[in-house]
Amino acid sequence: MHIIESGNVAAALGVKLSRAQVIAAYPITPQTPLTEKLSEIVEAGELDAQYIPVESEHSALAVCIAASSAGARAFTATSANGLLYMHEQIHWAAGARLPIVMCVVNRGVGAPWTVWNDHQDSISQRDTGWIQIYVNDHQQIIDTVIKSFRLAEEVMIPIMVCYDGYLLSHTYMPFDVPEQDRVDAFLPPYKAPYALDPENPANLNTVTLPDIRFDAQGRLAHGYMEIRYLLQEDMRKALDAASSIERQFFEMFGRGGDAFFELYCCEDADYIAVSMGSLSYHLRDVADLLRASGIRVGVMSVHLYRPFPASMIAQALVHARRIIVFEKALSYGYEGALCSDIKSALFHHGHNQARPEVLGHVLGLGGREIRTEDLHEALKHSCTTPVAHPDEIGWIGLKI
């Protein structure tokens, strides 16, 4: 069924089709219409779920942690400072290996206050042990929510589905809503490997000693370091799981095909622009303009950001002369986080004699308008001008 609706509605329909059993909700712009839509769906009897309004974002994720620990499929959503308020619980959910799915409707963080879009909120949480996926349009929102429940429950790691506030959350686009029976075939009911049971009381995630030790049953148990090592190893294994799930989704629904990134005109590109989110599609228009003037430009849209598919990205980029990264976030004191990750991937997996130069641009912070002519000028300059200071950030739209 094809409909025209907002990105927040696309996310809500993805949650409905995934048959989430517990939804924790606290309002924050621009995420609020997503959980409002879910409340309507639950109230109308279209989804058999417990909808729990809470007093804060910290409590929203706490509810999901409790629900997931009891064996339920749990969902929540947030934005900006709401995500930051969850920070303690974000670490807890990952360390407890709970397959929670959370939509992060990207918005700049305060101070000073802004309600507009950039990626600083989710990028600031990249090292918390959650899988992070960035999407570009409404079809990817609904599809990725469904795929994320499948992936999270297979690897037992929580997932953030990140999409641009307003640019996607509030705009209307056409997208396909898959049939419930087909989603049910793709995403079976969740069966937790272990769930809390009142009939069999247990303690979870108690104080863990630095070293390994025997548990109450006399079995040798992991220490804290071993637990973190296993999370890291399983994050890396999630690359294969994500790729397999993507192939199955493509075979069943005919969409997607690559869990890691999306390429546009990269086969013969001398220069490749790299970005995440809706900006990636904006860059395609700029690439077309530059190609019309004889400059062979391609675009890579990174979907899976954590775990970072370094070798796959390097393989796709290494044959270009120059990589230009555009991002709506900043690792203060150095450069954009995605830019650093691209450099690292090329350093470790690229060919030493053919490693492309990498330039980084920061733009759109706090919702600053990203004009096509500014993107065109910046990308053209980055393609045609010798690099004097490769570590210097290019600021697009700055008015100082």
Strand order across the 101-106 sheet: 50-53, 22-25, 74-78, 101-106, 159-164, 131-134, 304-306
391 confidence band (pLDDT: 50, 70, 90): confident
Close Cβ partners of 238 (under 8 Å, ≥ 6 residues apart):
131, 151, 155, 157, 307
Six token digits for residue 49 = 């779920």
Taken as a whole, the chain contains a residue count of 400
Residue with tokens 């294969």: 240
Q: SS3 for 1?
A: coil
Close Cβ partners of 271 (under 8 Å, ≥ 6 residues apart):
295, 296, 297, 298, 320, 321, 322, 323, 324, 379, 382, 383
287 and 176 part of one domain: no
In the prediction, which pLDDT does 352 show?
Answer: 60
Closest C-alpha to 25, from 83, 92, 78: 78
15 and 108 part of one domain: yes
In the prediction, which pLDDT does 351 show?
Answer: 64
Domain boundary among 186, 216, 231: 186
| Cβ(109)–Cβ(124) below 8 Å | yes
Domain boundary among 127, 159, 186: 186
Closest C-alpha to 297, from 286, 306, 305, 308: 286
296 and 178 part of one domain: no
Q: Is 210 within a domain?
A: no
Q: What percent of the chain has pLDDT over 90?
A: 88
20 and 144 part of one domain: yes
For residue 31, the cross-strand partners are none
Q: Is 89 within a domain?
A: yes
Q: Is 311 within a domain?
A: yes
In the prediction, which pLDDT does 202 show?
Answer: 82
What is the rounded end-to-end Cα distance, in angstroms, of the chain?
49
217 confidence band (pLDDT: 50, 70, 90): confident
Closest C-alpha to 49, from 29, 61, 35, 59: 35
Q: Which residues of 45-72 are buried (b: 16+ CB within 10 A; e: fewer)?
A: eebebebbeeeebbbbbbbbbbbbbebb
Q: Is 199 within a domain?
A: no
Closest C-alpha to 313, from 286, 276, 285: 276
The pLDDT of 130-141, averaged and rounded, is 98
The answer on pLDDT for 87 being more than 80 is yes
Q: Is 200 within a domain?
A: no
Closest C-alpha to 280, from 153, 167, 152, 191: 167
Six token digits for residue 240 = 């294969």
Q: SS3 for 108?
A: coil
In the prediction, which pLDDT does 350 show?
Answer: 67
177 or 400, which is more confident? 177
| Cβ(157)–Cβ(231) below 8 Å | yes
The answer on pLDDT for 390 being more than 80 is no
Residue 34: how many CA atoms within 13 Å on its side-chain side? 37
Q: Is 225 within a domain?
A: no
Residue with tokens 């329909």: 13
In the prediction, which pLDDT does 210 show?
Answer: 84
pLDDT per residue over 92-124, tens digit each? 999 999 999 999 999 999 999 999 999 999 999
122 and 268 part of one domain: no
| Cβ(58)–Cβ(112) below 8 Å | no
Q: Which CATH number goes with the domain that contains 316? A: 3.40.50.920
353 confidence band (pLDDT: 50, 70, 90): low
Question: Using the 8-state DSSP alphabet, how is residue 71 labeled?
Answer: T
Residue with tokens 């989110």: 277
In the prediction, which pLDDT does 204 show?
Answer: 82
Which residues in 287-356 belong to E strands, given as ranges? 297-302, 304-306, 322-327
167 and 277 part of one domain: no
Q: SS3 for 93?
A: helix
What is the domain count for the chain?
Answer: 2
Question: Using the 8-state DSSP alphabet, how is residue 36 labeled?
Answer: H
Residue 395: what are its φ and ψ, rounded to 5°?
-105, 120
| Cβ(233)–Cβ(240) below 8 Å | no
Closest C-alpha to 325, from 367, 357, 303: 357
Q: What percent of the chain has pLDDT over 70?
A: 99
Q: Which CATH number goes with the domain that contains 64? A: 3.40.50.970
83 and 170 part of one domain: yes
Q: Is 98 within a domain?
A: yes
Six token digits for residue 71 = 């064996």
pLDDT per residue over 156-201, tens digit each? 999 999 999 999 999 999 999 999 999 999 999 999 998 998 888 8
User: Would you tell me how many other CB atoms lie within 10 Å of the CB of residue 367?
Assistant: 18
Residue 344, domain extent? 261-396
Q: Is 254 within a domain?
A: no
Domain boundary among 186, 220, 240: 186
CA distance 165 to 108: 9
| Cβ(108)–Cβ(39) below 8 Å | no
Q: Calculate the average pLDDT of the chain.
A: 96
pTM: 0.97
173 and 268 part of one domain: no
213 confidence band (pLDDT: 50, 70, 90): confident
CA distance 10 to 261: 21
